[in-house]
Each structure stands twice: as C-alpha cells, then as structure tokens.
Amino acid sequence: MNYEEAIQYIHSVNWTFCKPGLERISELCEGLNNPQNTLKFIHVAGTNGKGSFCSMLSSVLKEAGYRVGTFTSPYVKFFNERMAINGEPISNSELCDICEYVKPIADSMTDKPTEFELITAIAFEYFARNKCDIVVLECGLGGRLDSTNIIKTPILSVITGIALDHTSILGDTVEKIAQEKAGIIKDGVPCLWCGEHKGAQEIIRTVARKHSAPVFIPDRSTLSVKNADLSGTAFDFGEHKGIKISLLGTYQPINASNALCAVDIMRKNGYDISEKAVRDGLLRAVWHARFEIISREPLIIADGGHNPEGVDAAVDSVLKYFGEERVNIVCGVMADKDYAYIARRISGVAHKVFCLTPENPRALPAEELARVFNSLGCNASAHGSVGDAVISAINSAKQENRATVCLGSLYMYKEITEAVERYKCN
C-alpha cells in the first residue's frame, strides 16, 4: 500500500454521517491488541480552544524531555498533521505500514468503523509503536461516545469550554452538550474545567462527584496581560510571571493559562516539568489558522473561527490589534452554522467582505453569505473560488493600506495559504 492508497482507503470509509458509540472502536482496537492500553493520555474535550491547548501543552511536555504524541483534528494542510510525535507529523511510510496492518481487521468487521474511528485506531497504534510517554488526545466530537473515549484511565481529563455547536448531534442547549463532554471524566482522574458557563460547570461538577474526580478551575482573576501586539503576548498567571507566547489572539492567554493549570496538576502527580520547559514550550508552540499571520507584507491573517464563539474571539482580536481601523475580510462558512450571527459580528470590523464557498458539501453558497452581509449594510461580494476571493481582498486592501483577515471554515486554510503564495510570487 502506498501513501495515496492509504489516504484513499481512510477517506473511503463512510464519514458523511455520525454514528456515535464505542462498539466499533472497541472491536477494532481489540483486533489490534488494544494499543491504547499501553499509553498514558491527557484527554481533551471542548467546543473551542482544544487545538491551541493541545499544542501548548504538547510543546511544554516536549521541552520537559517527554516523548509526546498529539492527536488533533481536523488537519489544515495535510492529513499527517492529525497525529504527531514531538511536533513531527507521522511519516508517509509509517502511515502506510499501519494502515496496511489495520485494514484487514477493519474490513472484517460486520459493522464497519467510521472514518474517525479508523483514524483513532491508527493513531493509537502509531503512538504505541513509538513508545510515547504521554499522548495529548483531542476528542473529535462530543466526548461520551467519541471514539477517543475508549481509553481507560487518563492522567488528566480536560474540558476547555462549552458553547452551542454540532447541536443536531450533541444537543440544543449548552447543558446538554456539557453532559456529553463530561462523558470523558473517569473514576478518580483529575478534571480540569476551563469554561465560563455556570450551568455547564454545575454539570461537570455533578458528573465529577459521581466519579470521585477532583475538579480544578483556573482562577481567571490572576490572569493579567502585560503586553499584546502582533509580535506576541506577555502575561502573568498566578505564580507564573512574565510568560510569553507567540500565538496571537486575545483568547490565547486564556488557552495558555489553561495549559499552565494542567502543568501544575501534572507536577503534583509526579511529573518533572521545569520552569524553563514551561517558558520555552509556550513560546515555541505553533498552531495554524488561529489568528495566524501568514504574510506580513502585505499583512494577511488567517483564523479558523467557524462557530459563533470562535468568530466572537476572532472579532475581539481584530478590535484588539487594529482598534477602529477596519479590515478587509475573506469569509466562507458552513450552512449549518449560525451564519446570520457570524455576519453581524464580522460586519462590525469589516471594511469590505469577500465571500466564498468552502470546498465542502455543507458549505453555504458565497452568494447567500454576501446577501446577508449586504442586508446589514456591509459591502460584500461573492467570488467563485478561495483564490479569487483572497486575491481580490488583498488588491483592495493594498490600495487602502488595510490588513486582510481570512475568517471561517478551517477547510479554507490550505487554499488561502496557496493563494497568498501565488500572489507573492507574481
């Protein structure tokens, strides 16, 4: 099996609808001799902030000398990003070897695994073969019935926060979604709750009590941002003073403080993580498509905020870094998101909006998104491709010395960066 065949096989699995449940992943992993049982995990669920948290904590643990596996989704440029060890994505050859090993077991199952279940099993096998000390494991969807929840006793369960998203699957209230996310809490395992919603917090505490799991909550009152600009952010958090991060966005000090709480809990449980590892790890952490500068000349920022909470965070960041100066926006969203709300928020910081249709069957047509923006009095136009929208936005921005901010689906990121590279090469 070569790389193209491996990717084709993974994507050929039925992924167009959700099949919650742990039966298939349990059967598949049993056929692989349960590689997940040889590993130690930090299990991470939440609506937003999971990826940044995973990146920061993985970077700190790597600097501390641990062999760290990281499992995240979705990828933004190429598939291999979904599973990495010490920041290096799985190689094509190893992905092929493991896929070839997993395929006959998956194919023999009467109830075939979903795409995400197959990827999860491949990741478990990859991390086990490479004898990772710790795996930072991000849930795919929800928690209770997510395939990653087959793991038995993690080091720490983390719920970064909860907002309305995937409501058709997880529930139509924050409380219902919290119940699903709380499903990752295990008997006696510490739980780090990083959210703000009081109703969700009460549910997390209730579930944790049933499992005799201590709950830790970051003390946001001790978080103090000292300096923040497009070069990075410096802040204090509790006893951690003068911490610096390169990741941009007004929300990243919060994500970093969550990672610092996780470090404190791990230290209390015997993990050796020096202060130097903490500082170097946070400063060196990389997470693409989260208010990421992908070009400084001209200034272009990409952010994958794709639900109301994510867009709120991105808009707050635009206001923080650019003040009253409006920016050009490139935007594409999924039709199942609250795109009317998203448009209202973006309109408050946009000079012009260049709408596109993401390459996804769930995408909202660019013409409909532009119509919504124009109904709000915001100058918006529809474009036939990501490249057309990006180039048009950059040309307009350069004429008026404005920044360009690309917001919306993570599925756009690769095409956006490729369009920017083409523009700069011309």
Report the pLDDT averaged over residues 317-329.
96
Q: Give the Cα separation of 33 and 172 in Å (integer).
A: 38
Mean pLDDT taken over the chain? 93
Candidate ranges 18-22, 352-356, 359-363; pick with highest mean pLDDT: 352-356
- Give the pLDDT confidence of 223-266 residue by residue, as tens digits: 999 999 999 999 999 999 999 999 999 999 999 999 999 999 99
Percent with pLDDT over 90 in the chain: 80
Nearest one of 311, 294, 307 to 335, comparing CA atoms:
307
pLDDT at residue number 157: 98
Q: Give the Cα separation of 411 and 55 in Å (integer).
A: 19
Strand order in the sheet with 191-193: 88-89, 83-85, 68-71, 134-138, 41-45, 156-159, 191-193, 215-216
Report the pLDDT averaged over residues 360-368.
90
Confidence check: pLDDT of 27 > 90: yes
Report the pLDDT averaged over residues 403-416.
88
pLDDT at residue number 15: 47
pLDDT at residue number 254: 95
pLDDT at residue number 167: 45
Report the pLDDT averaged over residues 36-64.
95
For residue 131, what are the contacts with CB-CB under 8 A and spacing of at least 6? 67
Report the pLDDT averaged over residues 204-219.
97
Confidence check: pLDDT of 169 > 70: no
- Give the pLDDT confidence of 267-292 residue by residue, as tens digits: 999 999 999 999 999 999 999 999 99
Q: Which amino acid is at 304?
A: G
What is residue 155's three-state secondary structure? coil
CB 407 within 8 A of CB 311: yes
- Strand partners for 158: 44, 192
- Give the pLDDT confidence of 387-403 residue by residue, as tens digits: 999 999 999 999 999 99
- The enclosing H or E element of 232 equals strand 232-237
In order of start, what are the domains of the chain with their CATH numbers? 3-284 (3.40.1190.10), 292-425 (3.90.190.20)
Q: Which amino acid is at 345?
A: R
Confidence check: pLDDT of 173 > 90: no
Percent with pLDDT over 70 in the chain: 96
Q: How confident is the model at residue 165 (pLDDT cuts 50, 70, 90)?
A: low
Lowest mean per-residue pLDDT among 14-18, 36-40, 206-210: 14-18
pLDDT at residue number 16: 45
Report the pLDDT averaged over residues 318-340.
93
pLDDT at residue number 163: 66
How would DSSP label each residue in 353-383? EEE---SSTTBPPHHHHHHHHHHTT--EEE-
Confidence check: pLDDT of 367 > 60: yes
Confidence check: pLDDT of 182 > 80: yes
Q: Give the Cα separation of 167 and 177 in Å (integer).
A: 8
Q: How confident is the model at residue 305 (pLDDT cuts 50, 70, 90)?
A: confident
Nearest one of 90, 76, 92, 83 to 5, comparing CA atoms:
92
- Looking only at the bridges linking them, the beta strands covering 240-245 and 223-229 are unpaired
Q: Helix H segments across 211-307?
A: 252-268, 275-284
Burial grade of 280 (CB within 10 A; 0-12, 13-18, 19 or more)? middle
- Strand partners for 193: 159
Confidence check: pLDDT of 412 > 90: no
